[in-house]
């Protein structure tokens, strides 16, 4: 077996998972010769059987865009991937970078809202009592919310975490008060 210099950590996403995903995604597609396109993708992945899992997974998924995943969706996924940011260990810096892209901000708002469900927050606090997750997620929300329209936020929160709607309204009330106070001092 040929080994690469980088040994990736164990993952639940295996080459076999990638192979099934590629097979299903390309199931009805035909190549230029009108042959099943999945045969090509599977052959590429299978040819890499002597290499590590990451290389094999890339072989099966090398045609992600051909699977019908749009270039925009791939770009959003890349924006949401913490380790691809300039400072991946600084969560707030990552959030600020994500907030620069409207669509990535929408996805991150949904991710944040789900991670902020009361039962998840409680479970995270019990598992890591020295790292309160509430603060991390709460501090990220104003930055993310500023990147999109309020009605877009409401739609997401209503579906995934309605408990955050009250917090959103409180935040908007604070902003309105601050705006009013700023107007008063400027006059």
81-125 residue pLDDT tens = 888 888 999 999 999 999 999 999 999 999 999 989 998 888 888
How far is CA 88 from its chain centroid? 14
Q: What residues form DSSP beta bridges with 36? A: 30
d(CA 83, CA 89): 8
DSSP secondary structure, 72-98, as one string: HHHHHHHHH-GGGSSSTT-HHHHHHHH
Residue 48, token pair as written in the block: 């890499």
d(CA 88, CA 151): 30
Query: Do 122 and 40 belong together in one domain?
Result: no
Task: Answer whether residue 1 is part of any domain.
Answer: no
Question: 15-19, 43-47, 66-70, 85-89: lowest mean pLDDT where?
Answer: 66-70
Higher pLDDT: 177 or 171? It is 171
Query: Do 111 and 142 belong together in one domain?
Result: yes
Query: Do 88 and 170 belong together in one domain?
Result: yes
Query: Do 134 and 167 belong together in one domain?
Result: yes
**Strand, helix or coil at 87?**
coil
> Can you give the residue range of the structural domain that contains 99?
72-186
Query: Do 21 and 85 belong together in one domain?
Result: no
Task: Answer whether residue 95 is part of any domain.
Answer: yes
Task: Answer whether residue 64 is part of any domain.
Answer: yes
Higher pLDDT: 144 or 34? It is 144
Query: Do 47 and 77 belong together in one domain?
Result: no
Looking at the 3D structure of the chain, how many domains does it have? 2
């Amino acid at each position: 077996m040929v080994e690469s210099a980088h040994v990736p950590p164990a993952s639940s996403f295996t080459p076999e998972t990638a192979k099934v995903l590629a097979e299903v995604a390309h199931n009805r597609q035909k190549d230029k010769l009108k042959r099943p396109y999945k045969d090509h993708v599977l052959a590429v992945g299978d040819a890499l059987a002597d290499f590590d899992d990451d290389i094999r997974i890339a072989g099966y998924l090398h045609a992600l865009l051909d699977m019908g995943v749009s270039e925009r969706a791939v770009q959003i996924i890349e924006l949401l991937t913490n380790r691809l940011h300039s400072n991946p260990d600084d969560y707030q810096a990552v959030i600020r970078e994500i907030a620069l892209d409207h669509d990535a901000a929408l996805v991150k708002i949904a991710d944040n809202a789900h991670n902020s469900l009361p039962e998840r927050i409680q479970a995270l606090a019990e598992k890591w009592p020295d790292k309160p997750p509430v603060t991390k997620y709460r501090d990220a929300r104003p930055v993310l919310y500023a990147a999109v329209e309020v009605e877009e936020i409401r739609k997401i929160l209503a579906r995934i975490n309605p408990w955050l709607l009250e917090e959103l309204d409180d935040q908007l009330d604070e902003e309105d008060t601050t705006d009013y106070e700023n107007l008063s001092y400027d006059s």
